Structures are given as C-alpha cells and as structure tokens.
Structure 1
Amino acid sequence: MGSIRTHIRQPESSDEQWHALIGALAAAYERGWQPADLVHVASRALDATAVRCAAVTVLHEADLSGAWSRAPQGWLDQLRTIADVHPERNDPAEIGAAECASLTFLWRRLPRWHVLCPPPSAWPTRRAEDPHASATAADPKVLNKIRGLLAKAESTEYTEEAETLTAKAQELMTRYAIGAALLEAATPGSRVVVHSKRIHLDNPYVKQKVLLLTSIGDANQVQTAFTAQLGIATVVGSPVDLEQVEMLFTSLLVQATRAMRTEGEKGSRSTPFRKAFLFGFAVRIGQRLTEAGKAATAQAVVESEVEYRDLLPILANRAEAVQAEVARLFGPMREMTCSAVDAGGWHAGRSAADAATLASDGSAIAG
C-alpha cells in the first residue's frame, strides 16, 4: 500500500560505497533512528544535494527491505512524507561518491537512541493488523473537523478570527480526548495506551519553537523532551492527543510566523525582537489553550453525564502513564530555560496570542 518503486542502476559511487551507505542506514535504524530522523540530521549537517540523496536512499532502502508491507504505520507515514517532500524520485544511481561518503560518515556516527518502535529486524514478514489500533486511533471525522478549523485560521488575514478558530479547534480536541478517555476507562480489560513521536524543528529560532510545542502539549496532556543538539523534540502522550497536538503546533507555528512578519513590516525585524516575539506568543497561547481546554472539559462532563470527581482519576491515570513513559525513555530531565530580552517583541508576541476572545460562544474568559 503506497509503495514507491525506484529503478535500480549502478550508482555513480562505487558498489562498495553504496553498500556501505545502505549498511549505515540499516544500522542506524537498529540503534533507534527512524527515516525522518535521518533525513533531518542530514539537513542540519549537509547541503541540499546531500539531503535529496538521503531521501532517495531512505526510499530505496524501503523498497529493498520490503518496508512498505512490513513496517509499523508510523514508519510508513514518515516514508510517505519524505516522498511527498522529494517528489522528484531521483534514481539512486545518481548519488555521487561525495554525497555517498558524507551520508555514510554522518549516519555511522549517530549514537544509540531511544527506541520508539520496533526496528526493522523485529518486523514480521508481513505487517499484521493491530487489534487495538481502531480503539486508540483518532476518529478521522473529528480530525478533519479540526484540520478544517485550523486551515481557516491559517488562511484568514484577521488575527481575531484566527484566534477564535484556533480556540474552537482546541475545544473540539479537548472534548474528543475526554470522550476517548471515558470510553477507554469503561472498556473491560483496557489499559492506558501511550505512544511517542519525534517532531523535527528547523532553524531559525528552534528554542522558541520547542517552547510553543511544549505549551501546546501541556494544554493537551502531552509531555515534551527536547534534544537541542539535534533540533528534535519527542512528544509523549495518547495516540489521539499526539495527533491533535502535532496538528495544532503546525498551524500555530504558521500563525505565529505570519504575525511576526506583520510586525516586521512595521520596522521590528531584529533577531532579538523575533525571538522575544515567539517566546511571548508561546507563553500566552499556552495559557489561552489551557483556559479553552478547561472550559471544554466542563462542557464534556455535562454532555457525558459523569461527575467531575469521577473524571479526575481517569485523567490522573493517563497523566501518570505518560509520566512513566517519559521517565522510562529519558530518565531525569532538566527544564529548558528561555528568556525574552527584547521587551517590545515579548509584548507584541503576547498581543498576537491574546488578540481575541477564545470562548466558542464569544464571551470573555477571565484570565
């Protein structure tokens, strides 16, 4: 399903170099790295030509290893995204000796990392359907509604409309997540399912971007661990929460960048201003998403006809499961520090996040 086939020819690099590159890729997978990770680290360390070669190599290896019919769903999603970003489908034979050597050297040096899903050596001959997948996956209809709200928020030129649409998306996310938690708790023999996913952050302003991701995650029962030297954040939470947080982060990053550029057109274009802007935006949007989530939680309790005191243990149980997985993967962690130096940027960023009422009925929320 979704397989992308490449025509195999002798690469410009030697047979020995080509086999060494495929070997470095396969070995990195066994050490916990995934397809999108390897293309991302190539983008941070090498030039655009090498990055295209990295994408071609990843897709070609997927053909050789039968990944399209064997890999977990998350792995397939990464392969499809890589193919979408690099639609030229370059022939592996066009990979030059220099790019081949650079990628081999880079991937061989990658250390062992947290294993978030089974590596290729543990895959079955043919992927079996996960009997629990339908129970833990988000409802496509709900996701489409959320995507629709966020797409409108990204397309509008009016800040207030964007904020209101984003708030509605958050409320829908919260109500759906609570409904999923109640259903899971009511199912005999069920257990809390926690997954992990890596989010790749590009320069510039990576530290401020991960703060935005963390703020969104905190409002949605998702924890974030950041590996600064790689520009990779790992988010941990329920499958539903992870998918929703990633959608919201992608949209809010677009909105924040647009608002920052609008301020730049007024004359504020310095790097300190932009960093402070994104910092202020992230802090305030996190507060407002939390407020919207609390309002949606109260509404969900009314709609589900459960007592709030009965919901609290369910949410606490999910939070404990997420925290336990974070501790298992990363052990003790320290909090990332981030400060805003440019006062104008800080206040402008907060204003961009605070420009509109977030309640879905248009009433003000006390903050």
Structure 2
Amino acid sequence: MGPGGLGVEGWGGGRWGTCHAEGVKDIVDRACEAALYAQDDAALDTGASLLAADPARWSGAAAELVARGETYVRQAWERGWRPADVLRLVRRDLDERHARITADLIAAEARGYARLPERWTDAEVWWKQDGRYGDQLAQREKADRFTLATAVLEVFRLLIRLPSIEPVGPLPGDPADLGEHAHIEPRMLGRIRALLAKAEATTYPEEAEALSAKAQELMARHTVDEALLTAGGGGPARTPGACRIGVEPPYEEAKAVLLDAVATANRCRAVWNSGFFFSTVVGFESDLEAVELLYTSLLVQGTAAMTRAEAAQRSGGRKRTKTFRQSFLLAYASRLGHRLAETAEHAASETPAHLPALVARDVAVTSRAEEMFPRTTTTRLRGATDHAGWEDGTAAADRAHMAGRRHPLPG
C-alpha cells in the first residue's frame, strides 16, 4: 500500500490478526460517522469514546486516523486550499494542539510525493511508524486518549467542511508542477533579507528608511532585469502565478490595505478574503517573493512604530485605545500606499526604454488576476476616528517609505 496505507503490520508489528484489524477499522468508521456529521458536542464525545475505550486498540485506531487524515487533507487541496491556509483556519477556530495534529496529517500526506509545489510545507513525519503514532502523540501532547481522539475528530470536522476556493497553484504530484520557477537570485535575496532585518531591528527611523529603500531598489531592479530578459527571448516564457498571504486580526483591514499597496508597487495584484484571513496575490514568482518579504517587514516596522507611539501617548497621560491603534495602522497603510506608488513610477521613469517590457508584464498579471477572480467587490473600511493615531501613523509611514526620493508627500 501507499505511504499512508495500513497493512496489518502498521498496527503493531503484525501482532494483530486480520479480524482484529477489521475491528479497528469498524470502530474508526463508527466514530467518524457519529462525530463528523453532527454539530453537537455529545456526538463528538461519542466518537471519541469509541476510539479511546480500548487501550489495546488505540495504536491501530490512531494509525487508521492518520490514513483518514491524509484523505481529508488531500480533499482540501483538491478544493483549492494550501497547508498554510488550513493551519491558519485551525488556529482561528480551534487551538495550537489541533494545529500540531493538522501539521502531522499534512506531513503524512506529503511524504508520498517526490516533489512538492512551491510554498507547500516544511512539516515532517516525526513519529517512527503509523502504528506508534497514537502513543507518541500522547507523549508529545501529555494528554489522555479521549482528549487526543476528540482533538483529531475536531480537526476532521473542520477539514471536511472546507468550501471550495480559487486554486493558486498545482497540487502535489501534479505533472504541471515540473517547470522551473524564476526566483530572486540567491545572493540578491540574501542581501534583501539582511537589509530588511536591519531595518526591523534598528530604533533609528532614518536608518530604517535607508535600509528599506535599498531593499526595494534591489527588488525593482530584479523585476526590470527579468522583464527585459523574457522580452528579449533570453529566458523561458513564464506566466504569472499566485500565492496566499495571511491577513489576520486584529486590524486586518489596515493590514489588507498595506499588502495591496506592497503588491501593486511590485507589479502584482492582491485580492482580500476577509472571511478566511488571507489575501491572494497574483504575479510573477520573483515579484511574489518580493511582496512577501516587504509586506512582512513593513508590518513589523509599523507595529513597532505603533508601540512606540502608544508609549508616548501614555506618557502624556492618555490611555492606550483600540481606536488609536486602528487609526494608526490605517494611516500607516494609506500613506505607504501613496509612497510605494510614487516609488514604482520613479523607478519606471528612470528607464523609459524598458517600459514596453514592464507593461507586458503588467498586462499578463492583470489578465491572470481577472481570470482567477472574475467577480470581486469593494469593501468599505471602518473610519479612522482617532486624530492622534492618524497623525502618528502617517509620520511612521513617512519614516518607513520605500522611495528613492526623500521629500514627503503632501498632506
């Protein structure tokens, strides 16, 4: 059988006979039937009790649950989900123990493939064999069989109820994932990461500005070089791809605005899914890498700046408020959107001969985004009601701007 399949030996080194094996499978069948298709906790308790009642059958039941879990996560992939999306939802609706179990199931399903798609998972199978997973899981979680069986069934409930969403890439084992992807050159990627790490670590706004601006300059330069190489026939023809980036509470609206600004500046398109806490970003592979790096860094810088601004507010006698933080991050995201757009225009205007190649790249990305999302809606953001938060957020964005030019935008 396949990597996640169960032979008699997988349930305990061959000591269970065929009849016993069938008995374990029947127990798991009845537990899943009882627990997965009902809403109430009583049904969940019934299913968990069936799985945990007999210590002698726990190893076999746990191994069968791993196999069931592999099936359920594969069904999630076929409905458009990716490992990071599922884990994000599990953490939102359940807790970290459930997330660890989900990561185990993802790792178990992934071990059957020689190659995984871009940005898939780094989870690994840590248990010796599926027949020992139940006991080793109990040791890791320091929990009893009933608690663990309940957690696994809760994960299953979530997995089987996932709706279909827009796919953003090939599935594991898909022949379409055999082509090479154009990434940012490793040496340049290392320089960009180092610059952004220093920008996040420094407490001097001017230094953070200079470091972030240099990182954006390297990203823009790579985009131009790649566009010219493709347009001149010096490289293989490539098509835009897509990835998902988490946009999680609190203040997810402001974060979505910031991500959209970063994506647009790097010749990508972002579509926010507020219900599932992510944005889908469409673009060429190296640009997607740039968006992930820059968005993460600017979010870290903005959060740190907000913390410092709050401290200053408190020292002046004002209590920290949610409206201050919401207004701060909205202003930060809005201001950076203007500055990043200015940066993109400035970079393009420096090399007018390269504009046709860049325009062709933009057209391809827009076409791909419209193909993936033929119907989108606009969202009315909650207003920024705290004047001090808006002013401080605007100032923080000015300090963190990516433009090569140093003058501030008009108010």
TM-score w.r.t. structure 1 length?
0.83
Superposition deviation, residue 123 in structure 1: 4.8
Q: What amino acid is aligned across from residue 346 of structure 2 in structure 1?
A: A
Contact kept in structure 1, 2:306 and 2:328, CA below 8 Å? yes
Q: What amino acid is aligned across from residue 72 of structure 1 in structure 2?
A: P
Contact kept in structure 2, 1:138 and 1:240, CA below 8 Å? yes
Partner of 2:370: 327
Partner of 2:328: 277
Superposition deviation, residue 311 in structure 1: 2.6
Structure 1 residue 196 corresponds to structure 2 residue 274 = no
Partners of 2:403 and 2:249 lie apart in 1 by 33
2:150 equivalent among 63, 78, 98: 98
The farther-off stretch of 113-122 and 253-262 is 113-122
CA distance change for structure 1 residues 104 and 179 in 2, over 3 Å: closer, same or farther? same
Partner of 1:364: 407
Partner of 2:116: 71
Structure 1 residue 238 corresponds to structure 2 residue 281 = no
Partners of 2:67 and 2:127 lie apart in 1 by 23
Give per-residue Cα distances to partners, 1:273-313, cap 9 Å, x unaligned. Answer: 111111100111122222233333344x2xxxxxx1x4333
Equivalent runs, 1:145-156 vs 2, <5 Å: 145-156=191-202
CA distance change for structure 1 residues 108 and 297 in 2, over 3 Å: closer, same or farther? same
Partner of 1:293: 344
CA distance change for structure 1 residues 247 and 255 in 2, over 3 Å: closer, same or farther? same
Partner of 1:249: 295
Structure 1 residue 107 corresponds to structure 2 residue 151 = no
Q: What amino acid is aligned across from residue 207 of structure 1 in structure 2?
A: E
CA distance change for structure 1 residues 356 and 350 in 2, over 3 Å: closer, same or farther? same
Equivalent runs, 1:1-367 vs 2, <5 Å: 11=59, 14=62, 17-63=65-111, 66-67=112-113, 69-75=114-120, 79-80=121-122, 82=123, 92-93=133-134, 94=137, 96-120=148-172, 122-123=174-175, 128=178, 130=179, 132-133=180-181, 136-187=182-233, 190-266=236-312, 267=314, 269-299=320-350, 301=351, 308=352, 310-338=353-381, 339-355=383-399, 360=404, 364=407
Contact kept in structure 1, 2:306 and 2:325, CA below 8 Å? yes
Partners of 1:278 and 1:363 lie apart in 2 by 22
Give per-residue Cα distances to partners, 1:180-232, cap 9 Å, x unaligned. Answer: 11111001685452010011233211221111111111111111011111101
Partners of 2:253 and 2:330 lie apart in 1 by 9
User: Would you say how many aligned residue pairs link Structure 1 and Structure 2?
Assistant: 337
CA distance change for structure 1 residues 201 and 364 in 2, over 3 Å: closer, same or farther? closer
Partners of 1:335 and 1:355 lie apart in 2 by 29
Give per-residue Cα distances to partners, 1:98-152, cap 9 Å, x unaligned. Answer: 111101010100112212222236359xx85x3x43xx22211211111111111
Partners of 1:333 and 1:259 lie apart in 2 by 33
Contact kept in structure 1, 2:223 and 2:286, CA below 8 Å? yes
RMSD over equivalenced CA pairs, Å: 2.8
Q: What residue ranges of structure 1 are gaps of 5+ in the alignment? A: 1-6, 302-307
Q: What residue ranges of structure 2 are gaps of 5+ in the alignment? A: 1-9, 13-57, 139-147
Q: What amino acid is aligned across from residue 71 of structure 1 in structure 2?
A: L
Q: What amino acid is aligned across from residue 335 of structure 1 in structure 2?
A: T
Partners of 2:262 and 2:11 lie apart in 1 by 44
Contact kept in structure 1, 2:240 and 2:368, CA below 8 Å? yes
Q: What amino acid is aligned across from residue 343 of structure 2 in structure 1?
A: A
Larger radius of gyration: 2
Partner of 1:305: none
Contact kept in structure 1, 2:110 and 2:172, CA below 8 Å? no
Contact kept in structure 2, 1:13 and 1:100, CA below 8 Å? no
Q: Point out which structure has higher relative CO (alpha carbons under 8 A, 6+ apart).
A: 1
TM-score w.r.t. structure 2 length?
0.75
Partners of 1:50 and 1:282 lie apart in 2 by 33
Superposition deviation, residue 329 in structure 1: 1.1
CA distance change for structure 1 residues 61 and 324 in 2, over 3 Å: closer, same or farther? same
Partners of 2:126 and 2:384 lie apart in 1 by 39
Q: What amino acid is aligned across from residue 348 of structure 1 in structure 2?
A: D
Q: Does the residue aligned with 2:169 lie in a helix, a strand or coil? A: coil
